[in-house]
Amino acid sequence: MGEALVMAETGNVVTAAAPTGHWMHNLDPVALDLGFFEIRWYSLAYLAGIILGYIYLLRLIKKPGAPMARRHADDFVFYVTLGIILGGRLGYVLFYKPMDYIADPIAILRLWDGGMSFHGGLIGSALAVLYLVKKNGLSFLRVSDYALMCTPFGLLFGRLANFVNGELWGHPTTVSWAVRFQEPPGGQVWGPPRHPSQLYEAALEGVLLFLVLWLLFTFTRARWKPGLLTGVFLIGYGVSRFAVEYFRVPDDHLQGLAAQSGLSMGQWLCVPMLLLGLYLIFTARGRDPIVVGAGGAIEAPPPDDDEYESQPA
């Protein structure tokens, strides 16, 4: 750690030799530059998460126990997309930089500058689902179960996009897989080797959480217990995010909160998720499922004592 770094200037970026052999992040956040218009990986990540989530939802509702018909799913993706974008942006404004946006409210509209909150997007999506179920007489918790089955796609691609952008990095470390980022993102200096906390979150919130939900949906009767899959998602995401926050550097303007309270803003926002998740899991058996048949009619679920035959989702 005490070795001197040899500095050299390449173009507009001041680089430093990495005697420990750590990879130096040089990924371009712009996927396609047309000169007058840029397409960024972060935008493509949102698009890919929504499209793959929708395709997966259509597969899920073909299985026995679906809480909605195809026509509901088509409306669902529109409303939830609005909830993700509006909720994610407003959540970031309220949770992370309220004073900055009070001073410059027009900046709220500058989505291309970055700044989205998962917790805000989750609240926005929940409100979108609430509107959909009230409009169509569906079960909120059962639709939520299916919606959150699809959410890991967006989490995976979103965290990978954070890594490509060279943002939301982790604390300095000497582990062999550490990464050196330009600090600040797109800045002039290579920082010390850091935990690639974006990839930790992608693996836990994206890959692992998807597998857990898929296994429960496919090989158990979880889909027939309203709120159970929602509770598992909330617990899975909450635990993953809470743990990774110990490796991740808090935003500059929130480091005081982390130092004073011992928890980062992300961890504080996970606490109600964990409590709600536990409640939903422990109370799931007492709720009656509402199942929508192929023609859109309400059907009764199979009795608990029927033999359950799983089919991969």
pTM for the predicted model, two decimal places: 0.83
Q: Residue 272: how many CB atoms within 10 A of its CB?
A: 12
pLDDT tens digits, one per residue of 170-190: 999 999 999 999 987 777 788
- Radius of gyration of the CA atoms of the chain, in A: 22
Q: How many Å apart are CA 204 and CA 237, to the nearest integer? A: 8
Residues of the chain falling short of pLDDT 70: 1-20, 110-114, 290-313
Beta-bridge partner residues of 38: 33
Q: How many Å apart are CA 72 and CA 140, to the nearest integer? A: 13
pLDDT for 43 equals 86
pLDDT for 60 equals 96
pLDDT for 5 equals 41
CA angle 88, 115, 11 (to 5 degrees): 150
pLDDT for 2 equals 40
- Alpha helix (H) residue ranges in the chain: 41-60, 70-95, 98-103, 118-136, 140-165, 197-201, 209-219, 228-244, 255-261, 265-283
Backbone angles phi, psi at 10, to 5 degrees: -120, 110
